[in-house]
Amino acid sequence: MEKILVLEDNEAIRESVENYLKLCDYDVVSCGSVSEAAASLEENTPDLAILDISLPDGNGLFFAREHLVDSRTPFLFLTSQGDESGRITGLEIGAVDYVVKPFSLKELTLRIKAILKRSNPDSLTASRQNRWKLDGDVMEFSETLHKMKINGRGIHLTTMEWEIMSSLIHHEGSILSRKQIQKQLHFLSSELSPRTIDSHIKNIRNKLGNPGWILAVRSFGFRFAGDRHSV
């Protein structure tokens, strides 16, 4: 059973998350303070940590930097709507995702499931780390580290964007229809429509800087267009 650490000082939120995750068969350790969470880490290492940023005796960002980054435990942040600086800082220190309050417990659980799936060392794709070139640009994509870079610059993708990009890369040279993308990502969202897929791909293209990385094949779907160079 996968263990999840929940660090959140709001009792109502903490209990809701804990109870919902337990119903989904996760082993949950919930803490309301940095000191309590630090003590729990001395006994057990979680498979994933969910962290609030503002806490009564510290800061979730500092806690992650001090206790989780070196241990390679994946972590995501719970942030308030207006806490943009916190979200950016969290991603910079290694957060795999963030969830904005108020949030859906189902959405949070789906994100957790996706993160744990990527973190599983037994995954068929876990050992993949490759390099592609396009128009003089170089893309590095690592499933193991959950990192993407363009010309050495880190690219942050949301959970859904990462899964779409991962699917396209793993089917490089082939065209993926919107229905195929929907089918592959059903574990993440059962409400993924062709229109939202188009929206996610538009966002991915903007983040990559060159829309040519993902080609739209009219009436068929999308294709990853990078030229592979193994690392």
How does pLDDT run across 114-129, given as a tens digit for each residue?
888 776 655 434 444 5
Give residue limits of the domains in the chain: 3-119, 129-230
One fold for both 3-119 and 129-230? no
How does pLDDT run across 149-159, given as a tens digit for each residue?
999 998 988 88
For the chain, give the mean pLDDT: 85
| CATH class of residue range 129-230 | mainly alpha
3-119: CATH topology: Rossmann fold (3.40.50)
Pair of tokens at residue 95:
């957060």
How does pLDDT run across 17-27, given as a tens digit for each residue?
999 999 999 99
Residue 113 sits at the vertex; the CA angle it makes with 111 and 117, to the nearest 5 degrees, is 115
Asked if 49 and 64 touch (Cβ cutoff 8 Å), the reply is yes
Q: How far apart are CA 56 and CA 115, in angstroms?
A: 28
Residues 6+ apart with CB under 8 A from 99: 76, 77, 78, 79, 107, 108, 111
What's the confidence (pLDDT) of residue 100?
84
What's the confidence (pLDDT) of residue 201?
93
Asked if 106 and 21 touch (Cβ cutoff 8 Å), the reply is no
Q: How far apart are CA 198 and CA 36, in angstroms?
A: 43
